[in-house]
Structure formats: structure tokens, C-alpha cells
Amino acid sequence: MVVPKIAPSLLSGDFAILASECQRMVDLGADYIHMDVMDGHFVPNLTIGAPVIKSLRPHTKAFLDCHLMVSHPEQWVEDFAKAGADMFTFHYEATDDSLALIKKIHELGMKAGIAIKPKTPVDAIMPLVSHVDMVLVMTVEPGFGGQKFMADCMPKVTTLRKAFPELDIEVDGGLDLTNIDQAAEAGANVIVAGTSIFKAPSPGEVIAAFKKSIQTCNSA
């Protein structure tokens, strides 16, 4: 049985008080804190980098789930390891040698995740899955928050879950209370959500509802 893990995306939090936002989410039941790293090249938006992770690390024991939407992710592995990242998730589309990158991530003491965009077929990464700790299936085009959930990405999740029953499968993009059951039924157990958690009247209730959906679908 896979374990539900909820990862609020700090991209929707208050950047003036990131440490407090991390602690607030953990206190409300979050398992990971999702850090969206964008370089303005691989995706059009520009967000945070290793210096922010480094500044945040002394103020939180939270698991920092770093999603690098960047070109040439190899050049940032050492910086993120030194900064204190727990998970380094790179995009399959951004590197020419995924296996070498996975090896480097592990050697530096981080967990390794591999992400795919909505248009990338899941078959492209199947030979790599046994080498990583998590697969991230994007359910929006990476680069901006607040986009609509793409349900047509769910067959990828189903394929992964059938082939790898114990794998951590993360979904990211447009997740909320209207579609969490679709993601959970497909087999996702790590849920990234920004707007639907941070902007909710009761973020803790949303986190709890996400977990309940995953648990219910897993026990069905």
C-alpha cells in the first residue's frame, strides 16, 4: 500500500515569510513542501534557486521536494545538495543522460525524481523508473500556477501504478477537491497543490481530504 503524501506548493505561499509558511503547512498535515524552481528558459517563468533553499533549510525540518523546471539540471545538483534539498526532481526533457544525472543526485545524498510534461509519453521513462525514488506526472504545462487540471494525463499514472505498485507517483498541476479522486483512482499518491491549499478558507481540511481520497482509493 502506497502512503499518501501531500506537498503544498510554496509558489502559492507568501514569499515574505517562507519559513512560517512551511511550518504552517507542516502543522496542517503536509508531508512535503514543494519548491518550484524555474529558470526562465526551460519554462517562461522565473522563481527561486538554491540560495532560497539554503536560507530556508535552517528554519524548517520539512522534507523539501524540489522540482527543477530548468535546462541543464546537471549544473545545479551540487548546489541543491549543499543547500539542503531532500528531493531533486528533474525533467526528462531537459537532459541527455538521465541515468548519469540520477546517479549524481543519489551520490550527493538526495532522493531522485524524474518528471514528464503532459505531451511526453510515459513509455519514454519506463526504463528509468526503477532507478528513481519518484515519478512526477505533470497535469498542466510546467511554468505557471493556477492552470486547469489535464485529466487526459491520468492514463500515464495508471500505467506507472500497474507496473510499479510501490512507486511514489506525484501529480502536479490544477489539483483540487473536484479532481483529487481522479488522480487517486489512477494511482497517484503524492499530490502537489498550490492555489487549492494556500487560498482555501481551511487549508488543513483540503490536505486531510486529499489524504482521505488516496487512502480510500488504495483500499478499494
131 is in an annotated binding site: no
14 is in an annotated binding site: no
146 is in an annotated binding site: yes
15 is in an annotated binding site: no
60 is in an annotated binding site: no
Q: Contacts for 146-149 with beta carbons within 8 Å, 24 or more apart?
A: 146/194, 146/195, 147/173, 147/174, 148/174, 149/173, 149/174, 149/175, 149/176, 149/179, 149/182
What spatial distance separates the first Cα and last Cα of the chain, rounded to whole Å? Answer: 11
36 is in an annotated binding site: yes
- Check: CB of residue 22 under 8 Å from CB of residue 62: yes
The catalytic residue positions are: 36, 172
SS3 218: helix
- Binding-site residues for a divalent metal cation, in ranges, read 34, 36, 67, 172
- Binding-site residues, in ranges, read 9, 34, 36, 67, 143-146, 172, 174, 194-195
- Binding-site residues for substrate, in ranges, read 9, 67, 143-146, 174, 194-195
